[in-house]
Structure 1
Amino acid sequence: MNITRSAKDMWIYIITFIACIFVDSFYGQHTFLVRKILLLWLYIFLCFGYTVGTDWRNYEDLYTIAPDDLLLNRIYEQGFYYIVYIIRQFLTDYWLFVGILKCIYLYGVIRLVRRFTDKIFWVLAILMNYNLLFMLVDNPLRFMVASIFLIFSIDVILSKKYKKLLLIGVAGTFFHISIALCFLVAISPLALRQITKWPNSKLWILYAFTCVIGAFPSVLNSFGGLIAVYLPFLANKVENTYFVESISPMFTIGSLIMFFLFFIVLKYKESIIKAPHGDLLFYYTLIYMYLFRLLIIVPTGFRINIFFSIFFVIGLVYIISKRRPLLRLGIFGLLIITISKNLWDSYQFIPYTNSIYYIVTQSHLPRSQREDLNKIYYFQRTGKQVEERKFEIRN
């Protein structure tokens, strides 16, 4: 019974993906109402998940039961805890609080995408695989809030005001310290943008190099050690979160698909370069694909790269929108396969439940009923137990 429920709930994600592809494939005035309804659905669906996700149990406790003095006396990432302290004084419902924050993030993503293309729904559909399911459904809340600073900095990035971008990055570290690494990568065009002018042969050699480096965890751990030495404020985060434990993810379906997409990006790179702000778009696309190879074996290390997935997907959409339908269908089909596998193999996403009814009626399900719902379904369909990481509310 629960396996059947899991399969049905998986189709909610897949149908949403297909609907986004369908709407942008037949763009026109007659689709205006349909587009508005689909956009509303995306906010409802992605931003108001209930029992889905990983860390909501910890954050709900933080929001509802943590004493004020523990929120006001944090030794790092104080900005997030101050926000929690202020907002919960007049908004007692944690699920409304987190839903609003998710809506702000999704709005920021859509705002960024519109700077480059009108194929909004194609981009959002593909981003479900590379960004949105993790950020909004799984929802690493502190990191998502810190990422809002980066996403809303798109105008600063496009105008190349990198000093201002660094200042915004400093503000973001008060919500999640590792966002500093994302901002450092965001300003890297100052030194590395010339790689966009390299011939494909050199870009392939660099890609092969990242694959080789990624096959030796000790190299990445040594690099992480250097970050901890020269950027001591990141030391704790690097040592506890971004050290390599295994190279098993190197040979997954997702990594093989990325290898294929790298070939597609280089073959049709002119479609990206000729786009508005095409040089920056191509640069961030390359950065995403190189970092994907390096960080795929680092537990949660992909977070450093997740902002740049937006540019990678925009670049990919520029390519497939100008190519034969067969290539387009092939890429969409591969993405459906990877999304389906990710949904089935993870406990965070199914069964899907939504919080809006419980927010409106203020009749939330008992914590005991919500706590292990997705874990139980996951065990029944895979036979595997979930070992969930806990973080302490106290300092």
Structure 2
Amino acid sequence: MALYYLSFCSAYAFIFIKQANKPAWLRIYVVLLCLFLCFGYMTGTDWRVYEDIYTHINFNNLFYNYFQEPGYYIYMLPFRFLNIDFFVFFIFTKVLCYITIVCKLITYSERFKYIGLMYFIPCYGFYLFIDNPMRNLIAVSIALYAVRFLVERKPIHYFIIVIIAMTFHTSACIMIPAYFYMNKDLSTKKIIILYIAINVLFANRALLALIISNVFGSIPYVAGKISSYIESSNTEGGGRVISLGFIIFFTFFILLCFYKSQIYKMKNGKIIWNGAITFLILYRLATTIEVFMRFQLYYMIFFVAGISYLTVFFTERSKKIYISYLLGLSVIGSNQIFSTWRYLPYTNYLTYAVKGEFPSYSFRSAYNPNNSPYKSKNKENKNNEK
């Protein structure tokens, strides 16, 4: 448990330590963080399904009993052909995604990188790398790589990469419209009207489901996906116009709109602000139908960078209060580790590799559900890979 808190509280401490701005200090921190986030062993949920698929790949009958997007399956094949251990393959993939996402976060957050890391780790990092929806994580990483071509206005490069991301997880389609507005000067008034309209209209779960079905229902595969997502969503989410989460994110929306012109003038300002606002708009949809949380992940880096940038607009005293407020939100975000067996007890692959002891699949699969102090609180995972 202490490791979870240490991972992001360290970033909070580094904000106020001048030496922490040295490149070597940052490198050591992100490497240690990688060892914690990416080398989890018996934690998480989806690895059980992925290991079973990986182990039972039949080169004489490819894609047998595999009905998801093909990109991940094709990506697995060379590793399986070389007989590489599943967890070596799995951790290698997580590390690649970690490097992509954290580098983008540091690039966009610039001198506020520790603030960004402090917020990102518990609010998104634990879920992405320890619970680990792998296909979604890979798709997010690929899509973030495509952003450079959005900035450079290279549509062919951009859309090819986004399509590749979609072969891992169809939710990457949310990045298609991004090319047409992410690097443009958007009207604050129109954004506010859109934000209000979405929060009022789409608080109704049935209405949102009807609109989505009418727009995408003509495509059988997509229609099937939508139907399964809506049926598995938490019905308690629909209709809640006001909640604590809404108030928190609405406050960020107001601050971002108020300081929009200043943020636009900063390096990568347009892409950060536009991406952060997209994230906040998707938040309303995610509270109504949970699967939209998957779409939010593609814009989380811009949101985290955006709220980190807000620090510059406060006085010295107010900055400390604001940063501490973000720390408080980070602590709240970390509470997910107490709601399920997925995170505790924490085990690390390296400790077993050093000993040369590798427990069986059945032992590993049952370890956390049987030994977590929070197993009685666990609910069926509604966010399993679809």
TM-score bin (small chain)? 0.7 to 0.9
* Corresponding position of 2:337: 343
Residues 151-300 of structure 1 correspond to what in structure 2 (within 5 A)?
A: 151-180=144-173, 182-189=174-181, 193=184, 196-199=186-189, 203-242=191-230, 244-248=233-237, 250=240, 252-300=243-291
The answer to whether the 8 A contact 1:285-1:308 is kept is yes
Superposed displacement of residue 336, structure 1: 3.0
Secondary structure at the aligned position of 1:383 is classed as helix
Identity over aligned residues, as a percent? Answer: 22
Superposed displacement of residue 373, structure 1: 3.0
Unaligned runs of 5+ in 2: none
**Per-residue Cα deviation, 1:56-82 (whole angstroms, up to 9, x for no partner):** 111111112343345445565222112
Partner residue of 1:13? 4
Match of 2:176, SS state, is helix
Native 8 Å contact 1:254 1:338 kept in 2: no
Bigger mean CA deviation after superposition, 383-392 or 171-180: 383-392
SS in 2 for 1:68: coil
Maintained 8 Å contact 1:375/1:386: no
What RMSD in Å do the two structures reach over aligned CA positions? 2.9
Structure 2: how far apart are the matches of 1:96 and 1:178? Answer: 26
1:224–1:361 distance in 2 versus 1, CA, 3 Å:
farther
Are 1:95 and 1:359, in contact at CA under 8 Å, matched by a contact in 2?
no
| Secondary structure at 2:357 match in 1 | coil
Corresponding residue SS for 1:351: coil
C-alpha deviation, 1:101, in angstroms: 0.8
- Answer yes or no: is the 8 Å Cα contact 1:142–1:176 preserved in 2: yes
Query: How many residue pairs were aligned?
Result: 378
CA contact (8 A) 2:12 2:327 kept: no
CA contact (8 A) 1:351 1:377 kept: yes
Q: 1:349 corresponds to which letter in structure 2?
A: Y
Matches within 5 A, 1:349-360: 349-360=343-354
Query: Per the alignment, in what secondary structure is the counterpart of residue 52 of structure 1?
Result: coil
In structure 1, what residue type is equivalent to 2:204?
F
1:263 counterpart letter in structure 2: I
TM-score by length of 1: 0.85
Distance in 1 (alpha carbons) for counterparts of 2:188 and 2:260:
12
CA distance in 1, matches of 2:22, 2:39: 25
List alignment gaps of at least 5 residues for structure 1: 1-8
Matches of 2:211 and 2:371, distance apart in 1: 39
C-alpha change, 1:391 and 1:315, in structure 2 (3 Å) is closer
CA distance in 1, matches of 2:143, 2:327: 31
Query: Of 39, 48, 58, which residue of structure 2 is paired with 1:57?
Result: 48
**Following the alignment from structure 1 to structure 2, what is the Cα–Cα distance between the partners of residues 22 and 15?**
10
Match of 1:102 in 2: 94
